Amino acid sequence: MRYRAAVSDDLNPLFQLEQQLFSSENYPVSRRMFKYHLEHNFILLAENESQEIVGYILALRRKTWAKIYSLGVSSKYRGAGVGFVLLKEMLEYLHHQDKKRVVLEVRIDNKQAISLYAKCGFKKLKISPSFYKDGCDALIMQRLEK
Ligand SMILES: CC(C)(COP(=O)(O)OP(=O)(O)OC[C@H]1O[C@@H](n2cnc3c(N)ncnc32)[C@H](O)[C@@H]1OP(=O)(O)O)[C@@H](O)C(=O)NCCC(=O)NCCS
């Protein structure tokens, strides 16, 4: 597996992966918004031996903090550490950007993702009721560096 920063040419395959990963009630990133994020934020990709994009993580940069906006790994490649490496590398990057506070929101029923975030130092902050279109609550998590 190779990990690298996304560039503008990655727009179409990234958008295709997003459609596999997130149904409409989970607020998938649109093609237009990926274009915006490629220009203004930071996207890290996981690429297999055939140079297909099999995972990505997107972080929004704010002045003093950052938000993990999206993270996903293609179903065939899950459970092999790809999500963990993407998140770890992103946190490393944000550390060097001096973003000591990182937040995210995750479906309260997404046990795998919550477990991954907890493993990487995120703590439960609060619940945002009925955040998702199907009525599911969002869990807001935060990671603070001293
Ligand atoms: C969440 C997701 C990104 C994890 O990626 P992954 O590459 O499968 O995860 P990894 O193999 O790196 O596992 C890292 C940790 O995640 C958690 N995890 C992963 N799969 C899990 C499972 N089936 N059950 C419970 N925990 C799991 C564990 O904490 C695991 O650490 P461990 O191996 O020490 O137990 C992936 O399942 C995914 O893309 N899901 C669909 C999209 C999504 O829900 N994204 C998150 C939106 S907030």
Choose one of 112, 114, 136 to mutate for the ligand 1 pocket test, by most ligand atoms within 8 angstroms of C-beta.
112
What atom of ligand 1 comes closest to residue 79's alpha carbon?
Answer: 11
Question: Which pLDDT band holds residue 126 (cuts at 50, 70, 90)?
Answer: very high
Per-residue model confidence (pLDDT) at position 27:
86
pLDDT tens profile 15-54: 999 999 999 888 899 999 999 999 999 999 999 999 999 9
Indicate the domain borders of the chain: 2-144
Distance from Cα 21 to the centre of ligand 1, integer Å: 13
Closest residue by Cα to atom 12, ligand 1, is 81
Contact assessment for residue 107 and residue 138, using Cβ atoms and an 8 Å cutoff: yes
pLDDT tens profile 93-112: 999 999 999 999 999 999 99
Q: What percent of the chain has pLDDT over 90?
A: 95
Q: What is the CA radius of gyration of the chain?
A: 15
Architecture of the domain spanning 2-144: 3-Layer(aba) Sandwich (3.40)
